[in-house]
Amino acid sequence: MSARWGPDGQEDTADPGGRLLAVRAAEGDEEAFEMLVRGHSGAMLQLAERLMGSRAEAEDAVQDAFVSAWRSLPEYRGEAGFATWLHRIVTNRCLTLLRARRPAADLDAVAEPAAPDHRSSPARAAESHAAVRDLAQAMEALSAEQRVCWVLREIEGQPYEAIGQAVGIRPEAVRARVFRARRVLTEAMAAWR
């Protein structure tokens, strides 16, 4: 299930059951909450892994986010769709974890990314594999905010307004961070070439 960024009407139409479950969970129905966790954990893990760079950290972030969601569900008024609301909580949790990260240790801990799916040639595959690894390293040079904004823009494809709401900054500030991230990353990638 991919996040939908249009007006909430679209999300609700595609997942009307989700709204019922969210209301029930807000009222203390933990079985309804479990169904929500099951339904959304795949997408949230994918988002968190893209933000954090490793599966283990992604699982920690998503687990924390779901518990936080359970606690704040009574305040969830449904103005945003549930998936959108959850997406923001996960993004915020990842941002907090990224800010607390110690970069020196993490350069060693960067997980080797999986090889890209290239059917053309082994040489091309090796080349892109190296590029992906260099990118993973280059991303460590980004600030937490730059990293989050860039991932949400380039990989998740979110509009600037949605990123701004998730991170808690103006869309113009998001734009600026995305630009700075692109600059840092293109320079790092050019150095490899």
Partner 1 sequence: MAMSTPHPREAPDDDEDLEVLACGRDLAEVWERAALAPADDPHTLACAYCRQAVADLEHLRAAALPVAPAPPADLDTSALVRRVMEVVRLELRPGRDLPLGEDDEDSWIYESVAARTLRAAAEEVPGVRAGSCRVTPPGSRTSPARGPVGVRIDITVEYGRDLRSTSRAVRDGLARAARERLGLAVDALDVTVTDLHDPPDRPQEHRT
Which residues in the 84-103 window bind partner 1 by CB under 8 A? 98-103
CB of 6 to partner 1, least distance (A): 10
Q: Which is nearer to partner 1, 67 or 109 (CB)?
A: 67
Q: Give residue 73's Cα distance to chain centre.
A: 20
Among 93, 94, 111, 173, the residue binding partner 1 under the rule CB under 8 A is 173
CB of 9 to partner 1, least distance (A): 9
CB of 99 to partner 1, least distance (A): 6
Residues composing the chain: 193
| Interface with partner 1, residue 1, by CB under 8 A | no
Chain positions 57 to 86 lying near partner 1, rule: CB under 8 A, are 59, 62-63, 66-67, 70-71, 74
| Interface with partner 1, residue 161, by CB under 8 A | no
CB of 31 to partner 1, least distance (A): 8
| Interface with partner 1, residue 23, by CB under 8 A | yes
| Interface with partner 1, residue 27, by CB under 8 A | yes
Q: Which is nearer to partner 1, 29 or 161 (CB)?
A: 29
Among 3, 18, 33, 166, the residue binding partner 1 under the rule CB under 8 A is 33
Alpha-carbon distance values, 168 to 62, 141, 172, 183 (Å): 19, 22, 12, 23
Which string of x and - marks every residue 130-159 that binds partner 1 (by CB under 8 A)?
Answer: -xx-xx-----x-xxxx-------xx----
